[in-house]
Amino acid sequence: MTLDILLVDDEPSIRLVVGDTLRDAGHRVVLAADGGEALSLVSSRGFDVVVTDIRLPKADGMTIFRRVKQERPQTDVILITAHGAVSDAVEALKEGAFDYLTKPFDPDELALRIGRIADRRRLERDLEEARAVLGARGHATDIVGRSPSMLRLLERIEMIAASDAPVLITGESGTGKELVARALHERSPRRKKAFVAVNCAAFPETLIEAELFGHERGAFTGAVKRRDGRFKAADGGTLLLDEVAEIPLPAQAKLLRVLQQGMVEPLGTNDSVPVDVRVISATHRSLKEWIGEGRFREDLYYRVNVLDISIPPLRERRGDLPLLLEHFLRQHTPAGQPIPRISPRAWAALSEYAFPGNVRELSHAIEHAIVLSRGREIDLDHLPRDIGGSARYAQRDEASIRPLTVAMKEFEREYLVRTLALARNNRTRAADVLGISRKTLWEKLRFHGLSDAETDEA
């Protein structure tokens, strides 16, 4: 993300080096040589970031900072200070400055901190766009997404919702198969009737038939009273058979008859009861593989799979993450409390995580983070260990490896100090040993912040 940056420093060498570093990082940079020029620029145009030395002619950095906060509160300010003026920078942090650096500083370190500002602004922009999309969408459905695959899914739902034909929904665990089934029901002519969902994997083989088709009193041990089944409860509406692959073969045969004839036969009776139900089945299994293994009837497969919908996993719709994040922040934040912000570090961890549990896992992660953050900004430590922990380890490993430019400059500084010591601080002799001119040596010493006092001690 490209930022507009105002760099204020009265030393031409710092303006030159730091300005070039920030431009190389992809930002637009305007230079100011004193506080008066900076104040004029701040009043005439907006900047994303102002980087200013504290000690300046005409107006100091604290004056510039306070003017920026007054006229352009959305602008981030980074202060550059000598060791003796750190207290001013700390005071500015309390007043809302983004950060400060002490001289001598590495331009790449400044670029890194500005990169964090860019990351935060990119996140805020994405979440603001997500907020606008969710606001325009309203609350008609909890299916959230604007990626191409999700737009195709929503179009497919609209296309087949009005039909009474059975639908098979496939997708990995946690992708939202029940949400899709509900969306089909809510868009269908049956929307004013019942939507009944049954998890076929939750019932033992001996009870699944009674649960689906109903039973008479005494039909089996424990049947102390007559009970209508789920088909009867969904009469006129929609029945979702979640995890349909888990239905045992005997019950599959009876389900096939219901789909063929529109009649159910409760256990313990020979009477057939007519039902008018649209059946939607869902599974994370490959039913064709189960047919090959003899675990699912082929004739039933063609009955439940008249129309089909496939839900993409979250890893194939990464562009929907900002929308989903904003949705779950809204959903899980307690009523009456402000929706918490999320730090760029936490967002980076979420963006890089594979989410094997799909949207359900993301929902859990955000709910977990909201509870632990207690209304504060959500950071890495508030995320579940699987997400935040791996990111922390990665950051720790990365922190042990400095950028090459930083390592080279640190080496150069140390080498200059050692060479001056060997030359007994004779700069002419040190320049000869180093193979550079005395002027070049002076410029390098100035760049690295090596004062006469420091090199004298060397």
At 259-269, the pLDDT tens digits run 999 999 888 78
Residue whose tokens read 């690295």: 448
pLDDT at residue 426 above 90? Answer: no
E runs forming strands in 96-245: 99-102, 167-170, 195-199, 238-242
Q: In whole angstroms, what is the distance from residue 10 CA to residue 65 CA?
A: 16
Q: What is the pLDDT of residues 307-364, one digit of tens each?
A: 999 999 999 998 899 889 999 999 999 999 999 999 888 888 898 899 999 999 999 9
pLDDT given for residue 224 in this prediction = 58
Topology (CATH) of 4-124: Rossmann fold (3.40.50)
| CA angle, residues 49, 54, 60, in degrees to nearest 5 | 100
11-25, 80-94, 277-291, 312-326: segment of lowest average pLDDT: 80-94
Which residue intervals of the chain bear CATH 1.10.8.60? 325-390
Which residue intervals of the chain bear CATH 3.40.50.2300? 4-124
Proportion of the chain in helix, strand, coil states, percent, rounded to 5? 55, 15, 35
Q: In whole angstroms, what is the distance from residue 418 CA to residue 425 CA?
A: 10
232-246, 332-346, 432-446: segment of lowest average pLDDT: 432-446
- Mean pLDDT over 146-175 rounds to 94
- Mean pLDDT over 438-443 rounds to 82
Which residue intervals of the chain bear CATH 1.10.10.60? 404-457
pLDDT at residue 128 above 70? Answer: yes
Q: In whole angstroms, what is the distance from residue 67 CA to residue 43 CA?
A: 9
In this prediction the pTM is 0.68
**How many Cβ atoms from other residues are within 10 Å of residue 236's Cβ?**
12
- Mean pLDDT over 240-252 rounds to 95
pLDDT given for residue 457 in this prediction = 40
* Residue 35 CB-density burial (10 A; 0-12 exposed, 13-18 middle, 19+ buried): buried
Dihedral class, residue 374 (left if φ above 0, else alpha if ψ from -120 to 50, else beta): left
Across the strands, what pairs with 268?
A: none
Topology (CATH) of 148-312: Rossmann fold (3.40.50)
Which residue intervals of the chain bear CATH 3.40.50.300? 148-312
Q: What is the pLDDT of residues 398-410, one digit of tens each?
A: 444 555 666 667 7
Topology (CATH) of 325-390: Helicase, Ruva Protein; domain 3 (1.10.8)
pLDDT at residue 85 above 70? Answer: no
Token pair for 13: 């060498």
pLDDT given for residue 140 in this prediction = 47
pLDDT at residue 11 above 80? Answer: yes
Architecture of domain 404-457: Orthogonal Bundle (1.10)
- Mean pLDDT over 190-197 rounds to 96
How high does pLDDT run on average in the chain? 87
